[in-house]
Structure 1
Amino acid sequence: MKYFIATVLSKGKREEIGLYAEDRKEATNHAKLKFSGIIIKVIEGQEPLEAQFKRFKEELLSNVQKKKIKPDALIAAIRQLAVMTNAGISIHDSLSEIANATTDEALQKVFSKIADDINSGHSLSASMENFRYELGNLTIAMVELGEKTGNLDEALYSLADMLEEIRANFIKFKKAMAYPRNVMIAMAIAFTILISYVVPQFKTIFEELHANLPLPTIILLKLEYLFNNFGPYVLATLAAGFITFKYMINNNESIRYKWHQLLLKTYLIKNIIKFSTLSRFTLVFSELIRAGIPIAEALDTAISMIDNLPLKQRLLSVRITVEKGGTLNKGLEETNLFENMIIQMVRAGEDSGTLDTMIKKVAEYYKMRFDAIIDGLSEAIEPIMLLIIASMVILLALGIFLPMWDMGNAVQGRT
């Protein structure tokens, strides 16, 4: 965002007011909506140091405080909006009614602000852009589809179905992770108790006997010293590091891109991200094609809802290929994300004029692959979980018993 200075003439007084916008045209439009009086000129200027500090503080606080709308509340609100839109009630009145009726504070705040923006002359999708974090990319993409096709109610019904499907997959994911998570929490608590209360007893014995300690014992004693002397500071450092890392990911695209790249190289996580992304991308793309949206435009909208930046960048190359006159199957093949079977299906759909049907089948295929990953998640995590537990047990066992064995052997040798 750039900093602009608007010169406004109001009640015979001339004043200069700062505002942020992408370009001068947008800044002028914002100034007309925001300030009463005559807008004399709008120019790009140097952001004052005080304004920089204020913006940094606001962004930091907004990232800490802002929260997504609860999935169940959002699904219910989208269904209500679809019903009311289908009944001919204006979007502004529908949003205001839903905001007043809901008990979800985040939903109430977002829908009230969107209703105000619509009352100021903005479209529904443009108003939602300011709440991409709270609403999600998929919601905005489907609303854009409804506005382009003139069937907003149908798009909202489809959106509610998609959100319910995503919600169901998330619940399945949580259930699959419940057992491994509980086991790891129990082991972490047990390990902390042993480090904090049991290891110090052996530490006293080792110090009195002046024994040469093996590496596992040294590691345990270092951990014990860290836990008992700097425990609160370590927790505070971890919390501060997490908040800083989250802020940097949300506000720095380069860091976010590298983080997403790392996730795509991580065992198991890479498949979850890949197949969930491709499932949603093909599902939205098929809906757009079925609605008669041109392929390049449909790709634009479907790609805009993708969160993972490396995958988004690779799929953007498909749109470039199509815009240059290439076929869709050629563009998909160049991304190296799709299997040969999928490329053949898309090619057959293009040749036979049934592309929307084929893309729908592709979406069903990726949904099946994603569901299979979620169903097998617990089994896939078990080897990692066993390795971590075994490492903790071995470290404790060797760290405590190796010095005891050495001392026992030394005593026997002397006698």
Structure 2
Amino acid sequence: MATYQYTAVDRSGKSKKGTVEADSPKGARAKIKELGLIPSEIREGVLKNTVGTSGSASFSLSSLFEPRMSNANLCLITRQIATLVSASMPLEETLRAVAQQNENPKHAAIINSVREKVCEGLTLADSMRKFPKVFDDLYVSMVAAGEKSGHLDDVLERLADYTENKQELKAKVTQALIYPIVLTIVAVSVIGILLSTVVPKVVEQFMNMKASLPRSTVIMIAISDFVRNYGILLLLILGVGFCLFVTAMRNPDFKKKVHGVILKLPVIGKVSRSLNTARYAQTLCILHSSAVPLIEGMRVASDTLTNLVAKDRLAEASEKVREGKGLSRSLSETKLFTPMMLHMIASGEKSGELDNMLGRAATNQSNEFKRNVAMALAVFEPLLIVGMAVVVLFIVISILQPLLQMNTMVGGR
């Protein structure tokens, strides 16, 4: 007999944890029900988590080898399952067919593992919960809601659409980050090459003249000497600083402070707010339309956000809704959503068409995010070009001024 660790809910709604011995997960679920509990999660073996001084679980090397799946493959598999389920094919046969259809052995193994859990008596949602790196909380919650409501095929189709939109939004963010970074590196490299190689050769001719040089030329010579003597050291310092920053970002408190600063920045903060609110509205819309309770949907939707400050504010909003406050009023207190979005949500609450209004708000906010990204790029690109032009102009003037002095001196003679 194997030992199973379980998480369950008693009749009063309180969460309980414990262990039972059984021959199979199905037998374990039966024993848990005999105790008057409703099992929500069952895992074979006793989990041993090492807790550090901060109270959080320590890093496990096994997490590095957990199976993963790209959004494109997950979307394809989700649509395949939805198509076969809508054709009234039994779930076990559906999963077997999808696994056989998949050309990636690792992905096929994941689907087969899910099918085995389903054959053991677990629900599809509980079976998928065993692979958190593939099926996140949002995915599992929606599948569970689809199973309870009997509309699993519709829910899976929505999930596939959501995964595609999520991939498109991620690509937009990547584009917004890569372009200015590459442009900055090219600009800094060009100026660095000018100061370290071209300028010293020209300046050497001026130094041989032993004449007084203009102040701009003296400044340029000093900058050129600094770049040649300390350029490599400066790059090392910047590299070490970047590594220290990345390490510090693993600390939740420091990361939250950085995210708070990002939200307050003029252009970047607006882009970050529109990205997080668009993702939140889209997630909440798809969860609520799939019959997931509003408070549970708000919790799952807030967990999908990347900004910790925004995540905390929206978690507080879900608690206010739990206490009886309206959704639109609770969201307005987070100071994250646009007035238009809040009006749309409030209208949906009053008219009873919250799903429809959440969907429109999500679309509107996604378009707002795209506009903010385009505006940020439109502002950054000319500023960088102008800045580079000013530096190059300063170098040219610093070189031309001594040449003009020489011409004046020769002409005077």
**TM over 0.5: same fold?**
yes
Q: Which of 212, 219, 227 is matched with 1:223 structurally?
A: 227
Which of 385, 388, 391 is 2:387 aligned to?
391
Give the match's secondary structure for 2:253.
helix
Separation in structure 2 between the aligned mates of residue 246 and residue 264 of structure 1, nearest angstrom = 19
- Partner Cα separation in structure 1 for residue 258 and residue 366 of structure 2: 25
C-alpha deviation, 1:116, in angstroms: 7.1
Q: Quote the offset at 1:163 in angstroms.
A: 1.8
Is the Cα–Cα contact under 8 Å of residues 98 and 111 in structure 2 kept in the other structure?
no
Indicate the residue corresponding to 1:151 in structure 2: 151
Pairwise CA RMSD: 4.8
| Aligned residue number for residue 349 of structure 1 | 348
Tell me how far apart the structure 1 counterparts of residues 316 and 310 of structure 2 sit (CA, whole Å): 10
Partner of 2:304: 305
Alignment partner, residue 275 of structure 2: 276
Aligned to 2:44: 33
Q: Which residue of 2 aligns with 1:191?
A: 191
| Counterpart check, 1:382 vs 2:378 | yes
Contact 1:81 1:94 in 2 (8 A): yes
TM-score norm. by structure 2 comes to: 0.68
Task: For residue 28 of structure 1, report the CA deviation from its aligned partner.
Answer: 8.5
Aligned residues: 373
Q: Distance in 1 between matches of 2:42 and 2:294?
A: 36
Do the aligned partners of 2:176 and 2:377 also contact (CA within 8 Å) in 1? no
TM alignment of 1:301-380, pairs within 5 A: 301-374=300-373, 377=374, 380=376
Change (3 A) 1:115 1:269: farther
Summarize the Cα distance change of 1:266–1:293 in structure 2 as closer, same or farther, 3 Å threshold.
same
Aligned residue runs from structure 1 range 79-118, under 5 A: 79-86=79-86, 87-90=88-91, 94=95, 97-98=98-99, 101-103=102-104, 107=107
When residues 286 and 24 of structure 1 are mapped into structure 2, their CA distance, relative to the original with a 3 A threshold, is closer
CA distance in 1 between partners of 2:113 and 2:219 (Å): 60
Contact 2:75 2:163 in 1 (8 A): yes
**CA deviation after TM superposition for structure 1 residue 164, in Å:** 1.7
Tell me, yes or no, if the aligned pair for 1:248 and 1:255 is still in contact at 8 Å: yes
In structure 2, the partner of 1:234 is: 236
2:25 corresponds in structure 1 to none
- Looking at structure 2, the residues matched to 27 and 206 of structure 1 have their Cα atoms a distance apart, in angstroms, of 84
The alpha carbon displacement at 1:245 in A equals 4.4
- The two structures have a TM-score, normalised by structure 1, of 0.68
- Superposed CA deviations along residues 321-377 of structure 1, whole A, max 9, x for unmatched, are 222122223212322333444444434433333333333333333233234445xx1
- Larger helix percent: 1
Cα gap change, 1:343/1:145 in structure 2, threshold over 3 Å: closer, same or farther? same
Task: Give the 3-state SS of the residue equivalent to 1:346 in structure 2.
Answer: helix
Distance, in Å, in 2 between the alignment partners of 1:252 and 1:27 is: 33
Q: Is the 8 A contact 1:275 1:369 kept in 2?
A: yes
Q: 1:342 to 1:170 in 2, by over 3 A?
A: closer
Deviation at 1:391, TM superposition (A): 2.1
**5+ residue gaps, structure 1:** 1-8, 11-18, 36-41, 48-54
Give the residue type in structure 1 aligned to 2:268: I
Q: Relative to 1, partners in 2 of residues 1:208 and 1:153: Cα closer, same or farther, differing over 3 Å?
A: farther
> CA offsets, 1:274-333, max 9 Å, x none?
223222322332333334443323322332322322112222222222221222232123
> Which residue does the alignment assign to 1:76?
76
Unaligned runs of 5+ in 2: 8-14, 22-40, 53-57
Determine if contact 1:142/1:284 at 8 Å carries over to the other structure.
no
What letter matches 1:194 in structure 2?
L
> Where do residues 107-186 of structure 1 align in structure 2 (5 Å cutoff)?
107=107, 125=125, 138-147=138-147, 149-171=149-171, 184=184, 186=186
By how many angstroms is 1:256 displaced? 2.7
SS in 1 for 2:337: coil
User: Cα distance, 1:156 vs. partner?
Assistant: 1.8
Given that residues 100 and 108 in structure 2 are in contact (C-alpha distance below 8 angstroms), is that contact kept between their aligned partners in structure 1? Answer: yes
Does the 8 Å CA contact 2:128/2:140 hold for their aligned counterparts? yes
Q: Distance in 2 between matches of 1:220 and 1:300?
A: 55
Instruction: State the alpha-carbon separation in 2 of the partners of residues 395 and 165 from structure 1.
Output: 42
Please list the CA deviations of residues 49-97 of structure 1 after superposition, one character each: whole Å capped at 9, or x if unmatched.
xxxxxx66838x94xx989743322221222233344444446972895
Change (3 A) 1:322 1:230: closer
Partner of 1:58: 61
Are the counterparts in 2 of residues 329 and 343 from structure 1 also a CA contact under 8 Å? yes
Quick one: distance in 1 between partners of 2:67 and 2:227? 36
Distance in 2 separating the partners of 1:165 and 1:204: 58
CA shift for structure 1 position 161:
0.7
**Distance change in 2, residues 1:104/1:161 (3 Å):** farther
1:233-256: CA deviation from partner (whole Å, max 9, x where unpaired)? 739x72x6656644553x432233
Which secondary structure state, in structure 2, belongs to the residue aligned with residue 264 of structure 1?
helix
How far apart are 1:158 and its partner, in Å?
A: 0.4
Shift of 1:381: 1.8
The answer on whether the counterparts of 1:202 and 1:400 sit within 8 Å (CA) in structure 2 is: no
Match of 1:4 in 2: none
Task: Provide closer, same or farther for how the CA distance between residues 80 and 216 of structure 1 changes in structure 2, counting only shifts above 3 A.
Answer: farther
For the residue of structure 1 that corresponds to 2:378, the secondary structure is helix
Q: Work out whether residues 322 and 328 of structure 1, in 8 Å CA contact, stay in contact via their aligned partners in 2.
A: yes
